Amino acid sequence: MVEPDVEISIRRQCSLLGISRSGYYHEPVKAGPEEFELMKRIDELHLRRPFYGSRRIAWDLSQGGPRVNRKRAQRLMRVMGIEGVAPQPKTSEPAPEHAVYPYLLRNLRIERVNMVWAADITYIPMAHGFAYLVAIIDWFSRRVLAWRLSNTMDTAFCVEALHEALETFGDPAIFNTDQGAQFTSSDFTTPLLDRGIKVSMDGRGRWLDNVFIERLWRSLKYEEVYLHAYKNLTEARAGIGQYMAFYNHERPHQALGQQPPAVFFALMASPDASPKGANSPRPRGPMIDIPPTSDTMTVVGAGPRKKATYTGAVSN
């Protein structure tokens, strides 16, 4: 980005790119084994107590060990991309130039596969570092449709997972995410809008909207990740790939009538599927609704307001 051996001064280049000169010259200190172990403990604690904020996490980490102050806990939680589920000011903010799409899932009754998909990112600890995992699931069947692992929290690996899910399973009616910069990016939203898929984004405090994918993260980490200390990204990718296959095709789900997600997905996707039948297994998740009069929604960005018009409501 900033090129020192050009005619334009570094001061001017930093100004044009919107970064400080101190940020250009700063060389971050690499995290050591102690830092990685602390991040793993924070991740485990966050899975057990997702409502804990940095203050309570710092207090718990300090019990029976070296004191961890709140600022350190906050910094590591930001690096890991996690936060407490309690409503907080300015959480899950998109990048300033990105638009925020309206929340479309209020009180909607989800009764079929490919009606609502959801995506989320989680932190994966390794012996010498960490990685980020994105997964896309079908809300009704809990099936993992696609996933990608990356050593940076950029947008590219999220877009790759999105294209794989769309090419393999077709188009959902609604795609729901949080307001993270990866999901508000036009690289991620444009493929959805071009296909006529309605984009929905969680508002503040709507932690329940991702409860199914958060449950996936808990299962993955306690049944796979924490049992195998991955040495590198290659080992992590292989181990997570094996678990995702097990989760989709073998692991029974009580809410799905003890059927694995992939089996339930195929059953409900068949032409003669009748999810309303008395004997049909049904997920017991929250019922969410789009008011039938909500034909026009507002997309709010950091700058002037933008408008997105959705034709009609999503049918149940």
Domain of residue 43: give its range. Answer: 10-80
Share of the chain above pLDDT 70, in %: 74
Residue 57 or residue 160, greater confidence: 160
Report the SS3 class of residue 37.
helix
Residues 131 and 178 in one domain: yes
Span 8-30, pLDDT tens digits: 787 777 777 777 777 666 665 56
Angle formed at CA 36 by CA 239 and CA 134, multiple of 5 degrees: 45
Does residue 144 lie within any of the structural domains?
Answer: yes
Residue 98 has pLDDT above 60, yes or no: yes
In a domain, 89, yes or no: no
Task: Say if 5 falls within a structural domain.
Answer: no
Please count the structural domains in the chain.
Answer: 2
Shared-domain flag, residues 183 and 133: yes
Q: Are residues 143 and 270 in the same domain?
A: yes
* pTM assigned to the model: 0.65
Question: Longest C-alpha distance within the chain, in Å?
Answer: 74
- 13 CB burial (10 A radius; 0-12, 13-18, 19+): middle
| Residue 218 and residue 47 in contact, taking contact as beta carbons nearer than 8 Å | yes
Which of 46, 80, 114 corresponds to the end of one domain? 80
Same domain? 155 vs 257: yes
pLDDT of res. 270: 77
Per-residue pLDDT, averaged over 229-254, amounts to 94
Strand partners, 74: none
Range of 21-30, 175-184, 283-292 with top mean pLDDT:
175-184
Residue 76 vs residue 149, higher pLDDT: 149
On whether residue 48 sits in a domain, the answer given is yes
pLDDT of residue 274: 52
Are 212 and 271 part of one and the same domain?
yes
- Do 29 and 151 belong to one domain? no
Q: Is 315 inside a domain boundary?
A: no
Q: Check whether residue 185 and residue 263 sit in a common domain.
A: yes
Do 162 and 280 lie in one domain? The reply is: yes
Please tell me the distance from the alpha carbon of residue 173 to that of residue 314, in angstroms, as a whole number: 7
Q: Residue 73: is its pLDDT beyond 90?
A: no
Determine, yes or no, domain membership for 94: no
252 & 125 share domain: yes
Give, as one character, the DSSP assignment of residue 311. -
Are 125 and 43 part of one and the same domain?
no
| Domain shared by 105 and 62, yes or no | no
Above 80 in pLDDT, residue 256? Answer: yes
Domain membership flag for residue 314: no
Relative orientation angle of helices 70-80 and 54-61, to the nearest 10 degrees? 110
The yes-or-no verdict on residue 50 having pLDDT over 70 is yes
